[in-house]
A and B are shown apart, each in its own frame.
Chain A
Amino acid sequence: MDDQQAIQRLKRGDIGGLEILVARYQARAVRAAFLITHDELQAEDVVQEVFVRLYHKIGQFDATRPFEPYLLRSVVNAALNSTRRLRKQVSLDGDLRQVEQLLAQSLSVESEVDALQLQQQIITALAKLDPRQRAAVVLRYYLEMSEKEMAAVLDAPPGTVKWLLNAARARLRDLLGVERSAP
C-alpha cells in the first residue's frame, strides 16, 4: 500500500492507515527531530505529537501532495517549538559554521573511524547551536530544502537564511583545501 492509499484509508477514519505511515516514516522522522532536539526522548515525543496532529487534521491534507516532505517539515517545526519550550544550553562560539565545516570534512573522509569520529563531532557541534540554527542545518542538509522553502518554514526573511548559509559556506571553503583547487 502506498502513501496515498494509506492517507485515503486514514481520511475514511481507518486508523490502520496511520499505522502504516508511522511504520514507514517514524525512523527518519525521529532522526530529523533528534538532530534538532538532541534528546532522544524529546525527539520521540515530538514525532508522536506530529502523527497525532496529523490524525486529527488529516481532512485538511491534500492527498495528491507527497507525504514525506510534508511530514518531515512538520517534524522540524514541532521539534523547533519543543526546543523553544525547553531551551538548551548553547555555546556562543559554537556556531553553524562549525557544523558545516564538519559536514564538509565528511566529503573527504576515507576511513570508517574518521567518519565515526566526525559523526560524534557533528552531533556535538549541533548541540551547541541555537535551535533555530540547528533547524536550518537540518532543513538544508538533511531535508535538502531550498532557501525559499527554509525561509517559509523558519518564518524568516530569505535574506536571513541566505546570510546564514552564505557565511557558513564561505567559512567552510576557507578551511577546506579541496575546495581551493582551480576550477
Chain B
Amino acid sequence: MNRKPYRDMLDSAAANSLSRHTDLWPGIAARIERKPLMSVIRSRPWAVILTALLILLALSGTAYALGRALGYIPGVGVVEVDVPPLRILAEPVTVEQQGITVTVSKVIADPTRTFITYRVEGIPFIEKQQPACLGLPELILPDGSRLENTGGGDGIPVLRDGDTLHFEVDYTYTPIPVGVMQVTLALPCAPTTGANASSLQVPLSLSPAPADYVTPVVEAPLAAATAAPTPDDQSTAQPVSRSGLQLEKVLQMGDAYILIGSFTDGGDLGAPLYMSTASDSEYLPRIEDAHGSPVPFKVREDLRPDPDWDVAYHWAYEVPASAAAPLTITVEQVNLRRYHIGSMQFDTGADPQNGQMWQLDQPVQLGAVQILVESVTFVGDGYTFKLSSDNLPEGVTPDADIANTNLSPYLSNDINVSSTFDGSGDTAQCTVTLTTQGASPPTGRLTVNWGLEELVPKTGPWSLVWSPAAP
C-alpha cells in the first residue's frame, strides 16, 4: 500500500469539510499583543467580577439539572424534558436555492444538547468540481454566535441520482440557550469551497414539545445492584481490584427497564481489553431471572453511554419489567489484546544489488503463530520479505521493523511498510516491503523485528445481580 493517497484523501476530506479559508494572522497578532490576565484584573475589575458571577450561575444550573424529568425519543435517546421545556422544530422547513433543496426534519433542544436532522437534495455534480453542501454546517443563534458541533454525522451517505447528489445526516451541537426559539442552519452550499464559499441559510423556528412527544422515562435507584462473586474470589481473600460488570444507571420506560452499565478493566485481566457491545457482538451477556430462566433482552445502542476508551466498555440492555427479580447478568468471556514480537537476522553484504534475493527460510514464532520468512529481495530503496505460515489468521500480515545495530536505532523511522496477502490455500503467503522511499536503506547484518497482535479469550464469568427497588 502506498500511503500517499491516504494523505491526499485526508487532505481533501479536511479541505472540503472546511467552510471557509480564514486568515489566522489578525487573530494571532491580536493574541500576541493581548494583555496578561493580571493587567486585565487591575484595569477592569468589574469584568472579572461579572465573569465570576456567570460561572457561579452556570455551576448552580448544572447542579439543578440533577433529578429533572426525562423522556426517550427514538433515534435521539434520552432527553431532559421539563425545565426548561423541551424545544422542537415547529414544523419541517424546506429551502431551495439554485436547485439545491435542504429539508430540516428534526431539531430537538434540551438543556444538554441540540440535535438536528436534515436532508440535502439536488446537489449539482460537475466533473472536476467539488459538489456543494458536504461540509460541516453551522447552527447560528439570533445574536450571531455559533453553537459548537459535538458529534453526529450519521445518516444516509451521499448518493448519486442522475446528475445530482443527495444525502441525509444528523448532528449534535451544544445547547441552545434557554428562551431562544430561533436558530439558523448554515450549510456550506457553494460549488466551490474556500474563500469564495457561501452558505445556504435555513431559518428554523422552535416550539415547546407537546407532552406526548417523548416516552416518559424514570431513573430508578441503583442501591439493589451487586456484583456476584467470581470463582477467583473464592481463593482470594481480599481482591484489591477486580474487572467486571458495573451497573451505572437504570431507566424505567413503559413496561421495561433499561439497564445501563459497563465492563470495567480493573487492571487484573493481564492485558488490554478488547470488547464490543454491539447488538451482533459475540460478547452479549446472558440474563437470567430469579428462577434461572433466560430473560429476553434488547441491546439499546441509542442509550449506551460514550465509551471511556481503554478503561471501560459500556452497554445498555432493555429487559421486561415483568421478569422475576433478581436478575443476573453474566458475561462468560472477553477478549484480550496481546502483542507478540519475534526477531530474525540476515546479512545483505556491503553492496546489495537491485533484485538480489536471499533464501532465508527462517522461522519466527509470534505467540501461537509461526511464520516462515522464506526469502528477502533487495528492491533498491528497501527490502521485500516473502512469508508463509500454516496458522496465520486470514487477512493478517505481521508488522515488520528493521533495526540496524551499527546505525541509529531510529533509522527505521523513515521506513514504510506495504504488504499483500494471499490466504486462498492451506498455507498463507504474504509479502512485506520495507522501503525508505528513495533514501539509502540499511545494509549489512540487519535485525528484523516481526510483530503480531492476537486476541486471546479470557473466560470469566463476570456477573451482576440486580433487583428493582421496592415501590
Q: Given that A31-B11, A31-B18 are known contacts, is A23 also in contact with B25, CB under 8 Å in the complex?
A: yes
Please tell me if B157 contacts chain A, counting CB pairs below 8 Å.
yes
Are the C-beta atoms of B151 and A92 separated by less than 8 Å? no
Are the C-beta atoms of B415 and A22 separated by less than 8 Å? no
* Chain A contacts for B463, CB-based, 8 A: none
Main secondary structure of the interface of B (DSSP, over half): mixed
Kindly state the separation between the CA atoms of A48 and B430 in the bound complex, as whole angstroms: 46
Interface residues of A in 128-174 (CB under 8 A from B): 128, 130, 132-133, 137-138, 140-142, 144, 146-149, 159-160, 162-163, 165-167, 169-171, 173-174
Are the C-beta atoms of B150 and A89 separated by less than 8 Å? yes
Please tell me if A63 contacts chain B, counting CB pairs below 8 Å.
no
Are the C-beta atoms of B134 and A119 separated by less than 8 Å? yes
Kindly state the separation between the CA atoms of A127 and B136 in the bound complex, as whole angstroms: 11
Size bin of chain A's contact surface: 35 or more
Kindly state the separation between the CA atoms of A144 and B4 in the bound complex, as whole angstroms: 9
Kindly state the separation between the CA atoms of A47 and B29 in the bound complex, as whole angstroms: 13
Please tell me if B114 contacts chain A, counting CB pairs below 8 Å.
no
Are the C-beta atoms of B339 and A130 separated by less than 8 Å? no
A154 → chain B, closest Cβ, in Å? 12
Interface residues of B in 303-352 (CB under 8 A from A): 304, 306-307, 309, 313-314, 337, 339, 341
* Chain B contacts for A44, CB-based, 8 A: 22, 24, 27
Query: Which of B272, B307, B314, B412 has the most chain A CB atoms inside 10 A of its CB?
Result: B307
Query: Which of B14, B16, B453 has the most chain A CB atoms inside 10 A of its CB?
Result: B14
Are the C-beta atoms of A26 and B23 separated by less than 8 Å? yes
Interface residues of A in 112-135 (CB under 8 A from B): 112-113, 115-124, 127-128, 130, 132-133
Q: Which of A49, A107, A120, A162 contacts B134 (CB 8 A)?
A: A120
* Chain A contacts for B401, CB-based, 8 A: 147
Kindly state the separation between the CA atoms of A40 and B139 in the bound complex, as whole angstroms: 13
Please tell me if B370 contacts chain A, counting CB pairs below 8 Å.
no
Please tell me if B158 contacts chain A, counting CB pairs below 8 Å.
yes
* Chain B contacts for A118, CB-based, 8 A: 9, 13
Kindly state the separation between the CA atoms of A90 and B25 in the bound complex, as whole angstroms: 32
A79 → chain B, closest Cβ, in Å? 12
Interface residues of B in 1-42 (CB under 8 A from A): 1-3, 5-7, 9-25, 27-29, 31-32
Are the C-beta atoms of A146 and B414 separated by less than 8 Å? yes
As a 0/1 sequence over residues 381 to 422 of chain B, the CB contacts with chain A under 8 angstroms (1 = contact) are: 000001000000111111101000000001011110001111
Beta-carbon nearest neighbor of A130 in chain B = B309
* Chain A contacts for B278, CB-based, 8 A: 92-93
Please tell me if B429 contacts chain A, counting CB pairs below 8 Å.
yes
Main secondary structure of the interface of A (DSSP, over half): helix
Q: Given that A44-B22, A173-B421 are known contacts, is A119 also in contact with B28, CB under 8 Å in the complex?
A: no
Interface residues of A in 17-61 (CB under 8 A from B): 18-19, 22-23, 26-28, 30-32, 34-35, 38-44, 47-49, 51-52, 55
* Chain B contacts for A123, CB-based, 8 A: 13-14, 17, 136, 153
Please tell me if A1 contacts chain B, counting CB pairs below 8 Å.
no
Query: Which of B23, B272, B306 has the most chain A CB atoms inside 10 A of its CB?
Result: B306
As a 0/1 sequence over residues 120 to 136 of chain B, the CB contacts with chain A under 8 angstroms (1 = contact) are: 00000101101100101
Q: Given that A93-B278, A180-B422 are known contacts, is A113 also in contact with B165, CB under 8 Å in the complex?
A: yes
Are the C-beta atoms of B27 and A48 separated by less than 8 Å? yes
Are the C-beta atoms of B420 and A179 separated by less than 8 Å? yes
Beta-carbon nearest neighbor of A33 in chain B = B14
* Chain B contacts for A64, CB-based, 8 A: none
Interface residues of B in 34-89 (CB under 8 A from A): none
Size bin of chain B's contact surface: 35 or more
* Chain B contacts for A27, CB-based, 8 A: 21
Beta-carbon nearest neighbor of A26 in chain B = B24
Beta-carbon nearest neighbor of B413 in chain A = A146
Please tell me if B300 contacts chain A, counting CB pairs below 8 Å.
no
Beta-carbon nearest neighbor of B11 in chain A = A31
Q: Given that A162-B399, A166-B451 are known contacts, is A88 also in contact with B151, CB under 8 Å in the complex?
A: yes
Q: Given that A119-B12, A170-B396 are known contacts, is A38 also in contact with B149, CB under 8 Å in the complex?
A: yes
A92 → chain B, closest Cβ, in Å? 5
Kindly state the separation between the CA atoms of A52 and B27 in the bound complex, as whole angstroms: 10
Kindly state the separation between the CA atoms of A116 and B11 in the bound complex, as whole angstroms: 12
Please tell me if B106 contacts chain A, counting CB pairs below 8 Å.
no
Kindly state the separation between the CA atoms of A112 and B21 in the bound complex, as whole angstroms: 23
Please tell me if B208 contacts chain A, counting CB pairs below 8 Å.
no
Please tell me if B160 contacts chain A, counting CB pairs below 8 Å.
yes
Are the C-beta atoms of B24 and A48 separated by less than 8 Å? yes
Are the C-beta atoms of B158 and A116 separated by less than 8 Å? yes
* Chain A contacts for B386, CB-based, 8 A: 183
Kindly state the separation between the CA atoms of A89 and B152 in the bound complex, as whole angstroms: 7
Please tell me if B232 contacts chain A, counting CB pairs below 8 Å.
no
Are the C-beta atoms of A90 and B306 separated by less than 8 Å? yes
Are the C-beta atoms of A142 and B152 separated by less than 8 Å? no
As a 0/1 sequence over residues 128 to 171 of chain B, the CB contacts with chain A under 8 angstroms (1 = contact) are: 10110010100000000010111111100111100001010100
Kindly state the separation between the CA atoms of A123 and B136 in the bound complex, as whole angstroms: 9
* Chain B contacts for A35, CB-based, 8 A: 10, 13-14
Please tell me if A71 contacts chain B, counting CB pairs below 8 Å.
no
Are the C-beta atoms of B24 and A180 separated by less than 8 Å? no
Supply 9 A–B pairs (Cβ within 8 Å), ascending by A: A22-B24, A27-B21, A52-B28, A52-B32, A92-B278, A92-B314, A107-B2, A112-B125, A118-B9
4 extra interface residue pairs, beta carbon distance < 8 Å, beyond A123-B14, A130-B309: A44-B22, A55-B32, A163-B272, A180-B423
Among all A-B residue pairs, the 5 with the closest Cβ atoms: A89-B151, A174-B395, A31-B14, A124-B153, A119-B13
A residues apposed to B, CB below 8 Å: 15, 18-19, 22-23, 26-28, 30-32, 34-35, 38-44, 47-49, 51-52, 55, 86-93, 103-104, 106-107, 112-113, 115-124, 127-128, 130, 132-133, 137-138, 140-142, 144, 146-149, 159-160, 162-163, 165-167, 169-171, 173-174, 179-183
